[in-house]
Amino acid sequence: MILRRVIEHFRKQEWTAIAIDFLIVVLGVFVGLQASNWNAARATDDKSAEFTERLRADMKEEYWLYQYLTAYYDEVLANADRAVAALDGGAALPDEALLVSAYRATQYKVRTRRRATYEELTSTGEIGLIRDRTMRDTAMSLYTTNLFDRITTQGLQSSYREAFRMAVPNTVQRALRAHCGDRRVERGDFTNIVQSLDYPCDTGLDNAAIASAAAALRADNGLVAKLRLRVADLETQIVDLKDNNRDIVDGLRAISGNVQ
**pLDDT cut 90: percent of the chain above it:** 75
pLDDT digits (tens, 9 = 90+) for 33-90: 666 666 666 877 888 999 999 999 999 999 999 999 999 999 999 999 999 999 987 6
* Residue 151: φ, ψ to 5°: -65, -45
How large is the average pLDDT for residues 176-188?
95
pLDDT digits (tens, 9 = 90+) for 136-171: 999 999 999 999 999 999 999 999 999 999 999 999
Enter the pTM of the model. Answer: 0.83
**pLDDT cut 70: percent of the chain above it:** 83
Q: Is the pLDDT of residue 95 over 60?
A: yes
